[in-house]
Every structure is written in structure tokens, then in C-alpha cells.
Structure 1
Amino acid sequence: MTLNPENLLQNKTTRRIAASQTPFPLPDVDFYPIADMVQGQISVWEVRRLSAHALHENRVRPDAPWRLESSLDVACLQKALAAAPRLPENGQLLFLLHPASFDHPDFARHLAQGMEDLPLDPRHLLFAVRSRDLAPRSPGLFSTLRALTPRGFGFCLYGADAKALSPSFLLQIRPNLILADPNLFTQKPRNGEETALLSAMISDICRRLGSRLAVSGVHRAEDLHHFLNLGIRFMQGEAIAAPSPFPSQDLLPRSLPDFQLSASASPSLRTCPQVGNLARRGLTASISDTVQQIVKKLENRPPTESVCLLEENRPVGLLMRYHLDRHLSSPYGNALFLKKSASRIMDREPMIRDAGTPLDEVARAAMARPAERLYDDILITQKGLYAGALSVRGLLEALSQVQVEMAKGANPLTGLPGNTAIEERMGFYRETCAQISLIYADLDHFKAFNDTFGFEAGDRMLLFTANLIRETAARCCGQDTFIGHVGGDDFVIFTRPEEAESFAKTLTETFAHEICGFYPEDIRCQGFVQAKDREGNPKKFPLVSISLGIVDCHFHPGLDPRILSQRVAQIKNYAKSRKGNAWVRDRRETPGFSSLFSDTGAA
């Protein structure tokens, strides 16, 4: 897919597109790169109009500005499609559209014509809508976006703010890409509390939703480091790559790999303890108590202390010391409030969580609170009754401890649990007699890739594989799925038997699609690399592929781990004997093993 940029409008396809009936001349556009910080390459180019002021004069009636925007969108689409042949194999164009553009009479026609003439695969196009335009009152727009997905087009949530990143909203629209508002992440907290909570939220979004999360406005080196520390993989801005008149990988700075994403950033908190283990018995009062009685309880207490107001031992409100001081320090505050019921000034909607709620889930909910409540205590209940409270400081200390414990046995490159944690997890399965599918993942021809392109490129591929396994597990498996890194290019996944095949099929297909981005175009075309085998003889090696072996196991205390290891090794070797990306499920029966499922697959 090559095209001379100086002759973009001279080829047959472009002339046909330009000759279509449009209300405006084709606008000039620039392509703003969005880089993948793991692979160290540009994956998406956002299409932006350079200027539209000359197109505004006498073109539409002033009482219909949406007509202007949608017409400009159609013209922009036409111009950008002409540059689509320059896209790399896995590249995508991102179009930010006005909601009315989807209903524009020329939109579907020009899109279909451009896709047919070029030709262009739908997976190369992402259509973006601003988060503020995706209101629940727009059911028609929701239907249109959902209709695009089965046809292969992608959908991007553009300029996502805190409200748009709510789990319920994201589950409803399920975007392929989230281009977040940088202001959401660049507010400077007085301490590390907001950053720690935000990291937990971002990690969970990437792991559970399966969407790519990107941030724009990365213009300085300090911004770049800030977002990397939050675990954000995709970025756009002057510190990443400059805009250009056509899509190009050449714009990516050579120094970019120095800033690439650390796999240890924002580790998955799958083993988080339950929040009830951290609850402390705080100060309580009756819903009928006066403000004066609350003041007495809080005498000589720190400004971060709180009182939980109860009704029949059920929490109905919260009064933080600093909120109370704010009310009483206002003009006539004592006269207005002291003898009144505390219910008049309490927070009637405090954050309340059951004692069995995982700590990471509590952290995400705490981060989503309004700024004025961000540091309020969290109330803990047991069967609806008051069990205690948890401060934000206590929450952060617990999160830090979890991360430290996870890091002790983690692989230093990918941040995934290592062999010690894997053995502990298998011990847990034996004790609980769990029925689990063990999936062993191994890269084929990785040594040849490493020898050809160097250890740095090899590390990027391992990090890519680890992140892809995480994303696939988030999409196909339950929250109790465990992912471990045995070492080198070997990974293990423990998941439910009914989820194993969906995981294996999705992982092999996605890996086959995305791995081409690690190779230069000439090697992709020839389909192999020239390297030396283990005996030092020159040999042609295929591109790296992934092989998965699935063993269904009924763990029990008497299960011999040697039998399990032998079975896993056999099924993994059988998978590796198949050409390309493949997965195999063991169908044999042995003591302690089940054979409820059996199948093979390849991508």
C-alpha cells in the first residue's frame, strides 16, 4: 500500500472521489499520530481539518450549523480516504464526526464508494463521537454505532471525561478506543492519593473492558512520564510524534523506546483482599443527635475524623470533621446549626460498601466521587449493618501493600506473577478441589526474532504478549482468572473450563493479526526471517506465532504435580507442531483430569 504524497489527487480513485457532488471543495487535512508505547510504533492516525473558515461563507443557512458540520465531515472523509493506501497493515484512521454526519445523505454513499474503490478493509477505520454527544437521549446514535461494529468498523469515544469513564456508560457503548481528556489525568494532587486511586481505575478499565485507552495532549516529556506511570499504553501529542499531511511511521522519534511503557505500572489487583478486613470501628451517633452532640464527640480529634450517623445500626449518613467545621465557621454558623439535628448537614449519600467487596473495586468507586468528597471516609457494612469505616489513607496503604506483595514474585519485565505465585495458586486449587482449565502459552520462533532484531525488540514482543493475554482474559474470562509468567516466552493462564476455548480462539486470532506490526514491510511480505538455528546453521524461520495447550483438571490434595506437568508439556508440544497460531485442548482422560471438552483451532 504505497502512494506518492505529492500525487495523492492524481490517481484514479481520488479523482472519482473528488468529482462527487459535495457542497464544499475538499478541505486540507492533517494526520495526528497515536502511538503504541509498548510496540514503539504508530497505530492510529486522527484526521483533522486544517481550517474550515473559508468554507463557511454562504454555504448553509445560519440557523442550521449542524448541516455545515456534517457536510464538512463528509468532505473531510473523502479527502482522508485518498490517503488510506499509505496505512500500514495494522494502521487505522480515526474520524471525529458530528452526530448529524451519520445521517447525512452523502455520508454512506461516499464511505461505500471509497471502501470499494481503494479497496479498504473496514477494520482500518475508526469513527469517533465526543462523549458529550453520546447522551442517553440519543438512542438513534447508539443504534447507528452498534450497527457499524458488525460490519468491521471501529468506534472511538472521544474526549472522555470522568463521567464518560463510568463502568455503566462504557458497558453500554463498548468502544474499541477511548481517547481520554488529558485534564482527567494532569490535575496536580497535593499528595499521591489521587494518582494511586487513578492508577487502580485505569488498570481495571484496560483489563476488564478490553478497549484501548489513549490520552491526547502529551506535549512535554514530564507529561509522557506521568501517563506512563499511570499505565496508559496509547498516547498522542507533540512529545510522541508531530502531525503530517499523510500517515507515516517515520515521524516517530528514535528516542521513543527510552520512554516505553513499564509493564510493572498499574499491576492487576486480582488478589486484592476484601475491604472488610481493613475496617476500623469509628465514631458513631444516632440520626437524632444534634450538631452540638457531634461536636463533643469530635473534640480533640484530627480534622480528618468522621462520625457515622446510624438508624437502627444501619448507616444513613456521614459527617466529616472538616465539613462540620466549614458549616460552623460560616456567618452565624453556631446559631444556625448547633442545636439542630445533625441530619441537616450530614452527607446523605456517603460511599457505603459491603465487607466482602474487593479492595480494588472500592478504590475505583472512591476515585469516581466528586472532588469535594474525594477524601471522605468509606463506610463498611456487614449484611446491611454498620461494621466500621475506612479512611482514604488506609485504603492507599492497603493498595500499596498489595502491590508490594505482588511485585515480590512478579516477572521483572511483564509484572505478571512468577513461579512462586503460580505454585501458590495451584496449591490453593488443590486445597479447594477446584475444576480449572490450565492454558499454557508459548511463542514459536521467538529466538529467531530475538537474534534478528535484538533483545530490546524481543522484550517489546514479550510485553505485548503479556498485555494481549491480559486484555483477552478481561474480554473472555471471569475476574477469578489467574495469569502467570513462567519465564522467557512461556505463560500460564488458569480459568474456568467453559471460558478456555473462547479465550484461546480470541488470543490466537488477535495475535496473528497484530504480530505483523513487529516486522518491516519486506519481511512481512516474504513471510520469514533468515537466522541461525541452535546448531549455528542458517535457516528460514516463519514469523512469530503463539501456541496454546489447554488441560482441564479437577484439582484435589492428592494430585501429583508431576503428572500435570507431563500432560501440559505433551499438549503444548502438540500445539507447537501445528503450523501458525494454534490452540489444542486435551481430550484424554487420566485420574484427576476431566475431558468435558475437546477441540483444536488455528488462526
Structure 2
Amino acid sequence: MTAIHRNSIVQEDKTYLENEIQEILRHKMIHSVYQPIISLKNGSLLGYEALTRGPHNHPLHSPLPLFTYADEAGQLYPLDRLAREKAIQGAFFASGKELLFINISAAILHDPQFVPGRTLELLEAQGMNPDRIVFEITERSSIEDFSMAKKLLMHYRNQGYRIAIDDAGAGYSSLQAIAELQPDFIKVDRSLVQGVQFHKTKEAILETFVSFAQKLNIEIIAEGIEHLDELLYLTRMGVHYGQGYLLGRPSLEGTELAPDLVNHIVQQRKIHDTAGSTWSIGDLIAPIGTFDCKALISEVANYFKKHVNAPGAVIVSKGVPVGLMMRERLFQQLAGQYGFSLFWNRTIDQVMDAQPLIVDQHMPVETVSQLATSRDINNLYDLVIITNEGKMAGASSIRSILECITNARMESAKVASPLTGLPGNIQIHRELNKRLMEKKRFSVIYADLDYFKWFNDRYGFQKGDQLIQYTADVIQQSIVVCGKPFDFVGHVGGDDFIAITSSWDAERLCKEIIRRFDQGVRLFYEGDDWCYVEDRGGNRIEANGVTISLSLIVCELADTVTLEQISQSSARLKKLSKGHRGSTVHCECLGLEHRASSGSE
């Protein structure tokens, strides 16, 4: 076959598909399927992403060739408008509260007909409000004019629509798009999600996304979750939402998440939320007045007149909080012209704040503080509603929350390590005594660095301090990934650390510490490739650099174990570890008849 013949066939195929695009648009032969987006906090449903499909059993059924050939045929704008129309019209969940995520290409921002009027008409026909729509701007094509994009998207935002940056991490300008457009959601591309538990670089990038998203009050959605290990890992990292075949395939109807997956999410999230935290918001619960959502405004106003120190009241429906009425806001409503005649005999649900901050009693105070202070300035000092298993438990003021954090930090600063900020020896002894008094199984991990003096002498004290801080980070991150709620990390001093865990697989936690330490410590050598180190006597020892030695003491029956036994066991295991090359973990069980065992990485 000649090149001319091949080109002719290709051109014929292209012409055929472009004609098919025209036919599809003329007869509106596309439809949407909907893939669920799930909360990685409690397994609840956030909403659905609408995914466009062409005619069944057709070369353009898949969205990639469909939109590619539409672009080549100069029909991208009409196809995108039709896709939005079909996405809204096919939303089977229109009567609920779920969000609808609709994809729009960055190129579509140049469409002169890309205005909110038509979309709003479609929503009204479905009985939906703009605040349930999230426009996903795909990041696979570059946004060239950010000023124009910001102006257009601000117009949409003013109508109530929300914005997501799609495919973050896979395209041209993720960080610039996030910085310029200030989205409500960041959807992390599946290329970063798949196999994240095996790739240090992917893990570090995702941790960075989560960290700065928290500071900017943006929520992260991880796409392409297909395996349970990925789900568990992402949940422990603090990713907000997930999407993928494991959580639900694209469909024309709604699906419920399997109960076992919900349980996995709840348990793994507890590990993230409580890691390193002492106080929970439940410790600050204060009683507060409650009213049914159909109570008259006059009842609430009279309550505030009678209770002059009550800052607000919680509005409930069947014991579940659904709104908040702050004293000052209610009286402002009533103080306006005709305020009493307009509102006095109406129900409180007509004027209450229907989107207050509601948190579970087990949430750490620090986390609640971050959520509360990221609210709109008009709601900054509103009460925080606290629930117990979804039911009304009480409330807390911002003042109480900030006082708790301040006092906790002052107390911690008195006894914490100035270098790492971790609890020092006083808190370590308190924690060990507390565990022994609880008489439950727990494990103690002592960690110290091998050849740290050599490193300090070779690279200087500043680098040495950085290595100490890195080791503290490694242990804490490993606890988040492999530990349990209320696990503890302390800094004994120098290059010595301690971790106390209730995990039944503490050896796995030790291996994770070793894996992370060995992968990252090479960066501290400034490109040097060491084949030896020096011991404290200045003798050369064959080794590749600094390693970490772990002593694992498993307290099987804590009521038969003493602090002295733990200390003696740690000393024995430390001596064993120092006799082996490389990063190692040696284990011993207390409270049962046992023999010491050892293993190394």
C-alpha cells in the first residue's frame, strides 16, 4: 500500500467521523452516565460526576474520540453545550442534595455562548439550584488567559456555582491554575493515585496537595481509586474525597457504597484525625438551647430575651441539628423596618443559618479550629455544633476552642523538645504509665540513629539538626499510615525517639519507619556516595551512611509489665541492633513467656 493510498484512507475515515459528529449534534445522540464521589471521612455521598457518552456501539461512544474529532471539526463548543444540557437533564438525583460535577475544557472558556443564562434555565427546569453545580475545568489543556478565565468564573461564582480543577498533576499548569482560579475542589489525576502506596514521589506530591489545600480551604478529590490499599492509604493521608471503580462505576442510577468499605474509611480516617492529638472537641461540649425547625421565630426571640447570656440556639429536626440561630443575627432581622410584623409568626427555619459548622465529638480541637477560622468573616464567631453519632450533643464557642489550643500549646511547650516540638521525657513517662494503668495490649518502639556523631562531625550541627527533625517526621508519618488512633510519638533527646502504639501489627509500623528513613536519608549526603563511616573511636566501619535501629517491645499483658522491664528490654534490644549492619528492628514480648526475636531490613 502506497503512502498516498494510506493517507487517502485516513482522510476518508476522518471525513466520515466528522460527518458523524454533525449527525450526533443534529439529533442530540449523546447521554450522560454518573460516577459517585465519596467522602473519605465517613463514606457518605458528596455527588456525581457526569461523564459524556456517544451513541452505543459507535466509534464515537467513548468521550476521548468524541471530543477529539469534535474539536478537529470545529464543533467543540456546540458539543460541550449539548453535554452540559444532557448532564443536567439526566440527573436522576435532582431532588436530593448531591452535587453535580460537569466537565468543561479550558478551551471552552473562549466560547462566546459560555454564559450562565442557559445553564440556569436547565437547572430551574430540573428543580436544581446553581449551588449544586461544580464546573470541572480540565487541566489537560492550558489556560492561556487567566484574567479572562477569572472574570468569567467569578460571574459563575456570584450565581452560586462552584469550581474544580480537574486532572491536577497531569497537565500543564496545575499550580498556576490553582493559584489564579482559587477553586473549591482539586481533583488529583489518577496517575498520581494509582499505586501511591508503593511510590515515594507520588506520596510526597499528594501530601503536599493535602497540606496546602487545608491552608487554602480547598477540598481534594482523588480520582481513579481501584484498589483497597489505595483507598486506605489516601484516607489515612487526609484526602477529603475519592472517586473510582472501587467506590462506584459510571451508571444511569445511584449506588450505595458497600458497608465494609464505609467501615474501612471510618477506621482509617480516625487514624489520621487523632494522630498526635490530645484534646477532642467533645471535651469542650457546653449545653445549648435547641428548637424544632418548625418552632416560631417568636419562641426563639423570647428565649433569647429570657436567657441574656445565650449567644445562640441550635435548630433540630428529630434530634439532628439542621441549623443555627445566633442571637445577634435574629435581633438584627427583627429590628429592621416591619421586622416584627414580617417575621414574628414565621418558622425559624426561614431565617436560620442552614449551613452551620457541625462536627463529631471525636474530632480534634485543632482540626475544628482550622474549619471554624476558615469560614466567611460574617460567620467567624458563630457557635460550633457538636454531635454524637449524628445526634445533637452540644456546642462550643470559638473562644473556648482558642483558649483550649492556647493552653495545650503552652503546656506542651514547657516540656516539649525545642528542636522537634515532640513531647519530652515528662510526657513520655505520663503516657507509659497511662498505658500500663489501662491494662491493654500496646507496643513501645525505641528508635535511635547509628553513626549520627560521624554525620554531625562530617556535615555540621545544622545538618545534624535537620536529620533529627527528618527522623521525627518519618516516625510521625509512619504512625499516620500504619498506626492507630491515639498513638504517641516522643523525643527522648538527641537522636533517640519513642513511639507507643496500640496496633496489633507493630512490626509493620517498624518496617514502614525503616523504609521511609532509608529512602530519604540519602538526600542529606549532598551527593556523596559513602561506603564507610566512623565510630566514636574514629575507626572506619563499612557502611553506606547513617542507619536507624529500632527496639520493639510488645506488652502483651500490660497489667504484668513494669516501666523497669520496658527499660531493661529496650537496653537489651538496642545492644543487639548495634551489632547488625543497616537499619534493623529487634523485637521482644513482655507479659507472656517468650523468646526474643529479631529481623532486619
What is residue 297 of structure 2 aligned with on the other side?
A: 291
After superposition, give the CA deviation of every residue in 1:142-198 in whole Å (9 maximum; x if it has no partner).
544444756886355779656996677369879xxxxxxxxxxxxxxxxxxxxxxxx
After superposition, give the CA deviation of every residue in 1:222-262 in whole Å (9 maximum; x if it has no partner).
xxxxxxxxxxxxxxxxxxxxxxxxxxxxxxxxxxxxxxxxx
After superposition, give the CA deviation of every residue in 1:273-292 in whole Å (9 maximum; x if it has no partner).
34333222234445444323
Tell me how far apart the structure 2 counterparts of residues 420 and 594 of structure 1 sit (CA, whole Å).
30
Q: State the Cα distance separating 1:467 from its structure 2 match.
A: 1.1
- Is the CA contact (8 Å cut-off) linking 1:285 and 1:310 kept in structure 2? yes
- Is the CA contact (8 Å cut-off) linking 2:193 and 2:222 kept in structure 1? no
Q: State the Cα distance separating 1:447 from its structure 2 match.
A: 0.9
Deviates more, 1:153-162 or 1:369-378: 153-162
What is residue 99 of structure 1 aligned with on the other side?
A: 140
Q: State the Cα distance separating 1:471 from its structure 2 match.
A: 1.2
What is residue 567 of structure 1 aligned with on the other side?
A: 569
What is residue 512 of structure 2 aligned with on the other side?
A: 506
Computing the radius of gyration over CA atoms, which structure comes out larger, 1 or 2?
2
- Is the CA contact (8 Å cut-off) linking 1:303 and 1:322 kept in structure 2? no
What is residue 465 of structure 1 aligned with on the other side?
A: 471
What is residue 362 of structure 1 aligned with on the other side?
A: 368
Q: State the Cα distance separating 1:486 from its structure 2 match.
A: 1.0
1:172-191 to 2 correspondences below 5 Å: none
Deviates more, 1:447-456 or 1:128-137: 128-137
Task: Go from structure 1 to structure 2 and tell me whether the alpha carbon gap of 1:561 and 1:428 turns closer, same or farther (over 3 Å shift).
Answer: same
Unaligned runs of 5+ in 2: 1-70, 78-103, 108-137, 143-168, 227-232, 240-272
Task: Go from structure 1 to structure 2 and tell me whether the alpha carbon gap of 1:474 and 1:283 turns closer, same or farther (over 3 Å shift).
Answer: same
After superposition, give the CA deviation of every residue in 1:270-328 in whole Å (9 maximum; x if it has no partner).
34234333222234445444323333333498899112235566544320123324433
Q: State the Cα distance separating 1:338 from its structure 2 match.
A: 2.4
Deviates more, 1:575-584 or 1:479-488: 575-584
TM-score after normalising by structure 2: 0.56
Task: Go from structure 1 to structure 2 and tell me whether the alpha carbon gap of 1:501 and 1:368 turns closer, same or farther (over 3 Å shift).
Answer: farther
Higher helix share: 2
What is residue 54 of structure 2 aligned with on the other side?
A: none
Tell me how far apart the structure 2 counterparts of residues 338 and 67 of structure 1 sit (CA, whole Å).
49
Q: State the Cα distance separating 1:356 from its structure 2 match.
A: 4.7
Structure 1 position 209 matched with structure 2 position 237: yes
TM-score after normalising by structure 1: 0.56
**What code does the residue aligned with 1:482 have?**
F
- Is the CA contact (8 Å cut-off) linking 2:436 and 2:562 kept in structure 1? no
**What code does the residue aligned with 1:579 have?**
R
Q: State the Cα distance separating 1:478 from its structure 2 match.
A: 1.7
What is residue 527 of structure 1 aligned with on the other side?
A: 531
Deviates more, 1:392-401 or 1:280-289: 280-289
1:311-330 to 2 correspondences below 5 Å: 315-329=321-335
What is residue 558 of structure 2 aligned with on the other side?
A: 556
Tell me how far apart the structure 2 counterparts of residues 382 and 322 of structure 1 sit (CA, whole Å).
27
Tell me how far apart the structure 1 counterparts of residues 395 and 387 of structure 2 sit (CA, whole Å).
9
Tell me how far apart the structure 1 counterparts of residues 329 and 461 of structure 2 sit (CA, whole Å).
55
Tell me how far apart the structure 2 counterparts of residues 576 and 513 of structure 1 sit (CA, whole Å).
20
Tell me how far apart the structure 2 counterparts of residues 366 and 68 of structure 1 sit (CA, whole Å).
33
Q: State the Cα distance separating 1:413 from its structure 2 match.
A: 1.1
After superposition, give the CA deviation of every residue in 1:531-558 in whole Å (9 maximum; x if it has no partner).
6x545x5646742111112121124344
- Is the CA contact (8 Å cut-off) linking 2:190 and 2:222 kept in structure 1? no
Structure 1 position 601 matched with structure 2 position 600: yes
Unaligned runs of 5+ in 1: 1-58, 70-96, 102-125, 175-204, 212-266
**What code does the residue aligned with 1:341 have?**
T
Tell me how far apart the structure 2 counterparts of residues 556 and 138 of structure 1 sit (CA, whole Å).
45
- Is the CA contact (8 Å cut-off) linking 1:512 and 1:545 kept in structure 2? yes
What is residue 314 of structure 2 aligned with on the other side?
A: 308
Task: Go from structure 1 to structure 2 and tell me whether the alpha carbon gap of 1:162 and 1:152 turns closer, same or farther (over 3 Å shift).
Answer: closer
Q: Output the aligned Cα RMSD.
A: 4.5
Tell me how far apart the structure 1 counterparts of residues 290 and 105 of structure 2 sit (CA, whole Å).
59
What is residue 499 of structure 2 aligned with on the other side?
A: 493
Task: Go from structure 1 to structure 2 and tell me whether the alpha carbon gap of 1:504 and 1:166 turns closer, same or farther (over 3 Å shift).
Answer: farther
- Is the CA contact (8 Å cut-off) linking 1:285 and 1:294 kept in structure 2? yes
What is residue 582 of structure 1 aligned with on the other side?
A: 584
After superposition, give the CA deviation of every residue in 1:502-532 in whole Å (9 maximum; x if it has no partner).
22222212212211221232xx224345x6x
Deviates more, 1:351-360 or 1:274-283: 351-360
Tell me how far apart the structure 2 counterparts of residues 297 and 138 of structure 1 sit (CA, whole Å).
43
1:397-408 to 2 correspondences below 5 Å: 397-408=403-414
Task: Go from structure 1 to structure 2 and tell me whether the alpha carbon gap of 1:572 and 1:67 turns closer, same or farther (over 3 Å shift).
Answer: same
Which secondary structure does the structure 2 equivalent of 1:415 belong to? coil
Tell me how far apart the structure 1 counterparts of residues 392 and 517 of structure 2 sit (CA, whole Å).
48
* Equivalent in 481, 494, 502 of residue 475 of structure 1: 481
Deviates more, 1:450-459 or 1:148-157: 148-157
Percent same amino acid among aligned pairs? 27
What is residue 264 of structure 1 aligned with on the other side?
A: none
1:125-274 to 2 correspondences below 5 Å: 127=170, 129=174, 142-147=189-194, 149=196, 154=202, 161=213, 169=221, 209=237, 270-274=276-280
Of structures 1 and 2, the one with the larger relative CO (CA 8 A, separation 6+) is 1
1:319-358 to 2 correspondences below 5 Å: 319-329=325-335, 332-358=338-364
What is residue 106 of structure 1 aligned with on the other side?
A: none
Q: State the Cα distance separating 1:454 from its structure 2 match.
A: 2.3
